[in-house]
Amino acid sequence: MTALPRSAPSAQATDARGVIAFLDAIEGVSGIEPHSIMLLRHGHVIAEGWWAPYHPDGVQQLYSLSKSFTGTAAGFAWAEGLLDLDAPVISYFPELDADITDPRSRSILVRHVASMSAGHSSEQWDRALATDREEPVRGFLLDPPDGTPGVTFAYSQSTTYALGAIIQRQSGQSLIEYLRPRLFEPLGIGEAFWGRHPAAGRDLAFSGLHVTTDAVARLGQLYLQGGVWDGRQLLAPEWVAEATRVQVDNSGDNGSGSDSDSDWSQGYGFQFWMSRHGYRGDGAFGQLCVVLPEHDVVLAMTTEAVPMHLILDAAWTHLLPAFDREGSAEADAALKHRLTGLQFPFPDGEEVPDSEFTVAHTAVERLRKVSLTAQKLTLQEEDGTLTTLPLLTGSWPPPTGHLSARAVQTDADTVRVDLQFVQSPHKLVITGDLRSGTFDADWRVDPLGHVSRLSLFDLANPEPREAP
């Protein structure tokens, strides 16, 4: 893989002090834990950092940022004649034709599912699964829209799933297989995998893609360059233009609780959100690909953030003024220092004593016992499976498999263990009570999906796991 070019911010007409101010605005803020950042200007990486135990080569769950990769697959399929934006969705599923009789469902076009405007006024995925878990497209189409296709916006997983299902049916390949020679290989994107729907056997399309932060940055740069990469037109410029302009108005009630001035109310394209500045792909908990054509900038980030809007607010407040503002070598050096040796904050305390805890409460139902020494954490599940991880004093150890852990005695009676699942945004916080010998285990932020009964192996190694 050819590395993206690197440059000092000042060499790309950017004041590094603005980037530092952006980091100041999001680090240490309640509900925001940054995991990685790559900032590109004029095609050069001018700032990058990973908060240990995350690292540059690690792939991460993108959640709904996966949709922008599905939208890109749709762009290739459209250019190859596999996809007609003005064809009814039902036309790609002739075996369902006799079942789908409501004219409202039959009027849903491909462009409507590509733009979240199928006509339903609310999230529809759970209803689709309840109707037909084996074939969610059938469940989707059997629920007639209560609004107007092409006009009524609702952010709904069913629409992207249907779009992905059409691409996979027409190409005879999974989304990963289809994108590999068209997008991943030309852009130099290596490891990638996608969670699948367990019954239909398709890549999930609306979520579940795992790639590196670098891959997210490259996708943004491809769109910023109008679909051109290394002088070659990969993605049709017409698709780039259509995907990144308003296809449907979402300034009304869009289910996000946002007001008309928010970044979730500026219109929706083909699997991209329009923003107050530029456009973006985004996923739950702050997986972001922000493209700012007016500044020739791409911002790629992975985080565990509940108030995602605060990240965008900070970008508009601190990053935008930094572009085309004179920088300095001193500011460049200060930013480089700031982004070196990053790691998650951790509570103060003493080295953990040798101790063993049995379960009192756990969000991961199979977890039954936790054993600690100063150098080692052992987790035992209900079937006897053991997971052993190293512990280091004062820092996060490199991941073992896809897990990393830190532990500290926070007071005379309490031990805290943070178990980081580094292919996801998520952390399991284990609190051991030295008096009772029991532990509680809770997610810092609950993952999406039905994960409570999964084993630690399945949670830490999502590649073989089919998505719910």
Which SS3 state, helix, strand or coil, does residue 35 take? Answer: strand
What residues contact 80, with CB distance under 8 A and at least 6 apart?
Answer: none
CATH architecture group of domain 9-80+167-338? 3-Layer(aba) Sandwich (3.40)
Which helix (DSSP H) or strand (DSSP E) does residue 334 occupy?
Answer: helix 329-338
**Whole-angstrom Cα distance, residue 406 to residue 390?**
9
Q: What is the pTM of this model?
A: 0.95
The domain ranges of the chain are: 9-80+167-338, 355-460
What amino acid is encoded at 57 in this protein? D
**Which residue do the tokens 């409460």 mark?**
361
Question: Tell me, what's the pLDDT at 256?
Answer: 45
Q: What is the pLDDT of residue 177?
A: 97
Cβ pair 295, 323 in contact under 8 A: yes
What parts of the chain have a pLDDT lower than 70?
A: 1, 253-259, 462-468
pLDDT digits (tens, 9 = 90+) for 73-95: 999 999 999 999 999 999 999 99
Q: What is the pLDDT of residue 455?
A: 77
Which tens digit of pLDDT belongs to each residue from 305-347? 999 999 999 999 999 999 999 999 999 999 999 999 999 888 8
Predicted local distance difference test score (pLDDT) of residue 259: 65
Give the bridge partners for 292, in sequence order.
297
